[in-house]
Amino acid sequence: MPESTPVTAALPALPSLSAQAETLIDLGVHEIAGLSAADIRDFAKAAEASGAEDGGLLTVHPDRAPASALAPLLRRDDKSGFVVVDMPDVDLFTPLDTVTVPDAPLYVLGGIDRGDHMANWSPDEALPALTAQDRSPLLLTEGIHWVLQQPAALERNHCFMTIGSRLRKANGALDARTPALWISNGTGRDGRERRNAPKAGWCWAGNRHTWLGFASTTGRRLQDA
């Protein structure tokens, strides 16, 4: 197992759940999900009233708002987010069997961490370590929700993987690609016009990258859980 790298300064607190609801509405995420603005607002208010922990992230179920629809809503330096061209099957990446997602259109993530201390670990190394810490890896859609609400969560040299989402092949084995969110350098097939744009891409499950942590959560809950 590689040595852990030093943890960087903590990110500022997320906005309130009600403020996050307004961001999703402004971006049109409720329409993507087939929900009304009132649905989003009412859920956020109920979650706050039920004592949802500070720093929670309001999230739409991936079946309602897939990564292909959410990624273009990301913004950095006036550049729109995108999915890499060699990941046309991005929406077929579903939660691992060990990741339990509430059976509801909306839920709240608690205790999100970017996993900077795991930079230079491989996904194969990071997953059992997160499990041992009673943490659950983020899904790709959850990571996108995080950056939509807190763009500072994605910064050069401190980006993150979302290894809760994996593609299962016809024979039952996992595809070796593991999703991640980082910032384009505008090289290769990204195109120079996309330099500094946020991107959803992938890395091999056995590879290490010094600039990718492993985002995780302490749990997913409904407002009345």
Per-residue pLDDT of the chain (225 residues; tens, 9 = 90+): 565 554 455 788 899 999 999 999 999 999 999 999 999 999 999 999 887 556 799 999 999 999 999 999 999 989 999 999 999 999 999 999 999 999 999 999 999 999 999 999 999 999 999 999 999 999 999 999 999 999 999 999 999 999 999 999 999 999 999 999 999 999 999 999 999 999 999 999 999 999 999 999 999 998 654
* pLDDT of 53: 58
C-alpha distance from residue 148 to each of 9, 19, 21, 22, 24 (Å): 20, 12, 11, 12, 8
**Residue 50: per-residue pLDDT:** 84
Length of the chain, in residues: 225
Are the CB atoms for 5 and 116 separated by under 8 Å? yes
The confidence score (pLDDT) of residue 223 equals: 64
Which residue type, as a one-letter code, is found at position 8? T
